[in-house]
Amino acid sequence: MLQGVLQEGGYRTWLISITKRAAVCFEDDSVMGFACIFDDAASLLANWREIEMAFLRHHDQRIRTAGDKAWNVYSVLLASGHATSTENREIRFIEEDLERTRKLAATGITHREALVSAVLPLLPLQYQPVLDREDMEERFRRRIAAIEPAAAEIILDENVSPRDVARRLGAER
């Protein structure tokens, strides 16, 4: 499921083993990294540094030749089990650790929505906002009225030149 979500986000992916743990490597034109799912928060907390370093050692040559992409190397550290409040706090600290790689960490990854939510910073926008259809001239008139009420009626009048609009507004001040 993790590999599929990353592929849907536009990444090339491949599976590797890091310290005898399955991981998904991912890369696109500007980002590269790995993602690993642990059984529980305790194993994530106990092993994330070792796995991050093993990934970096294994891919050191590739990262060195990646140019600007080397600034966007991610470690995605996920756990399927839920965390205690103390573990949650420690996991939040992982994301604040800016040494070596950028990090995303989350627990409770038991379904696709939780997975997508955890890796959302790596994914393209999920939807495009839709603006209500309305008369653009009326909308523009309302915006002008909010900024300069005296201009609302004359600024869109085709019989009034821009110079006359400026003159009339300047005369009213």
Residues 116, 140: one domain?
Answer: no
Residues 104, 119: Cα–Cα separation, whole Å: 7
For residue 57, being part of any structural domain is answered with yes
Find the domain containing 154 and state its range.
136-171
Residue 129 in any domain: the answer is no
Q: Specify the pTM.
A: 0.70
pLDDT along the chain (173 residues), means of 10: 93 93 94 95 96 94 88 95 93 92 95 93 74 73 82 80 81 58
| Rg of the chain in Å (alpha carbons) | 26
Residue 169 is predicted with a pLDDT of 75
Helices (H), the chain: 2-8, 41-58, 60-64, 85-96, 112-119, 136-147, 162-171
Tell me, yes or no, whether 109 and 150 share the same domain.
Answer: no
Indicate whether 15 and 61 sit together in one domain: yes
Both 14 and 44 in one domain: the answer is: yes
CB 48 within 8 A of CB 94: yes
Would you state the pLDDT for residue 172?
57
Mark whether 109 and 166 lie in a shared domain. Answer: no
CB atoms within 10 A of CB 49: 15
Residue 62 inside a domain? The answer is: yes
Instruction: Specify the pLDDT at position 130.
Output: 62
Q: Report pLDDT for 49.
A: 96
- Give residue 131's pLDDT: 61
- What does the pLDDT read at residue 170? 75
pLDDT value of residue 145: 84
